[in-house]
């Protein structure tokens, strides 16, 4: 079993684990996701049609409308939010959205999670300690 540890800064505390869903595309909230299903709907997005519900969502950051936080807030109310989020670029959109999702969230990593975590890897996030434990799926 290949286990890799990443260290980051706490955005929202808590502990969670699950399967990784990874994208190199930044994500739009309003106009980018459907909170009822948790699916990405942006036409040109590599995750278009894929749901982040109950996944550990690994992404570069947020883009687009200021409705970002509201749409991920609605996703939490609809039960479609990810289990935890890991992102690289702090903006007001993604930080406020993370607070609204109320799931463990980390950023500012010692190594780029996008180069280490792949779809299907098992990821344990301890946001209080700032630690991400990645178990590679093919190991």
Partner 1 sequence: MKLTDAERRMLDGAEGAAVQRAMDLLVRYGEALGADRLVETNNVCGTFVAAGPMIREFASKGNDAIFSEFNLDSNEHVAMPPVKAYTCHLIMGIDSEHPEMRQLSEDAARVQKEGERFFGAKGVNMLSTCTPYQVGNVPVMGEHCAWMESSAVIYCNSVVGARTNTEGRESTGAASITGRIPYFGLHIPENRFASHLVDVQIAVDDMMDWGLLGYAIGEMVEEDIPVFRGLTSQPSLIKLKHFGAAAASSGGVEMYHMPGVTPETKSEEGALGGRAPRRTWVYGQKEQRAAYEKLNSTAKSADVDFIMLGCPHNSIEQVWQVARLLEGRRISPNTSLWVFTPRALKEIADRSGYTDVIKAAGGHVLSDTCPAISRIMPKGTKVVATDSAKQAHYLPAITGVQAWFGSVADCVEAAIEGRWTGGLR
Binding residues for partner 1, per CB under 8 A?
Answer: 9, 11-12, 26, 31-32, 35-36, 41-44, 61-70, 73-74, 77-78, 89-93, 95-100, 105, 108
16 is catalytic: no
Nearer Cβ to partner 1 (97/113): 97
Nearer residue to partner 1 within complex by CB, 5 or 48: 48
Q: How far is the CB of 122 from partner 1 (least distance, A)?
A: 25
- 3-class state of residue 12 by DSSP: strand
Catalytic residue among 28, 51, 65, 69: 65
């Amino acid at each position: 079993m290949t286990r890799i540890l990443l260290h980051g800064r706490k955005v929202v505390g808590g502990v969670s684990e699950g399967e990784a869903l990874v994208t190199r595309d930044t994500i739009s909230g309003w106009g980018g996701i459907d909170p009822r299903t948790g699916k990405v709907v942006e036409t040109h997005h590599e995750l278009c049609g894929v749901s982040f519900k109950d996944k550990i969502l690994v992404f570069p950051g947020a883009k687009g409308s200021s409705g970002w936080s509201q749409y991920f807030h609605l996703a939490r109310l609809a039960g479609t939010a990810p289990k935890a989020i890991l992102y690289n670029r702090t903006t007001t959109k993604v930080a406020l959205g993370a607070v609204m999702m109320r799931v463990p969230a980390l950023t500012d990593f010692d190594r780029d999670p996008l180069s280490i975590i792949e779809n299907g890897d098992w990821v344990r996030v301890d946001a209080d300690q700032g630690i991400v434990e990645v178990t590679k799926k093919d190991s």
